[in-house]
Amino acid sequence: MHGKFSRKNIHDKTLHRKLRGPDWYISSLMIDRTIDAIMKRLIINRDYHVPYLAGYSTDGATIYIDCDLPPTFVAKSGATVHVDRYLIMHEAVEKSLLKMFDLRYQHAHQCALRTEKALVNADGITWREYDRFMQEFIKEVGEETPLNLPPDLDLKPYVDEHDDELLAKMRQWMATSSPRPAAANSRFAASLCP
């Protein structure tokens, strides 16, 4: 599903009661509540190719997840792992740090990466298994023909990484492409709920 989500589409089963235990403990319930709050404010779009799997619009209102990344994988334990929830959190944290505090990309990225890892581990998934799955789908711009990038993708991460060749290809495509209507993506709603 694409676009703003109504409450009926996300985490209807998330209980909203006072949590017990230390406030530093990351629980699945707390993760679900946090994702609920983020989802109320963002559009999630899986219609494009995105270098390094995910990114965000220049205004921060949209998180893009690469259209070729499967929304789930099956862990060695047999559990189905829904990856969008971790990518959404990573991108939301990263963009917030860049926008609010004008941090350099690498600083914001490291904080977001550690948040992503903590959430993966809190859901009982090993980082090694999760990361191995994600690495299979990372691709360089130019591997796809024609290049199909979001027209408003924030380029700050690529600028700060000084990847001039990648940036040149991305800018060329973005300058010559016109925004196209985004198709509905029904795979998304199912990908969030564990």
Given this model, what pLDDT does residue 31 score?
76
Q: What is the pTM of this model?
A: 0.78
Given this model, what pLDDT does residue 176 score?
81
Q: Where are the domains of the chain?
A: 7-192
Residue 38 CB coordination number (10 Å): 19
Place of tokens 């998934």: 125
Given this model, what pLDDT does residue 134 score?
97
Given this model, what pLDDT does residue 184 score?
38
Given this model, what pLDDT does residue 66 score?
95
Given this model, what pLDDT does residue 173 score?
84
Given this model, what pLDDT does residue 60 score?
96
| Closest to 40 in 3D by CA, of 77, 85, 6 | 6
Instruction: Pick out the chain residues at pLDDT < 50.
Output: 1-11, 181-194
Given this model, what pLDDT does residue 120 score?
93
Given this model, what pLDDT does residue 24 score?
60
The H or E element that residue 93 is part of is: helix 84-101
Given this model, what pLDDT does residue 144 score?
58
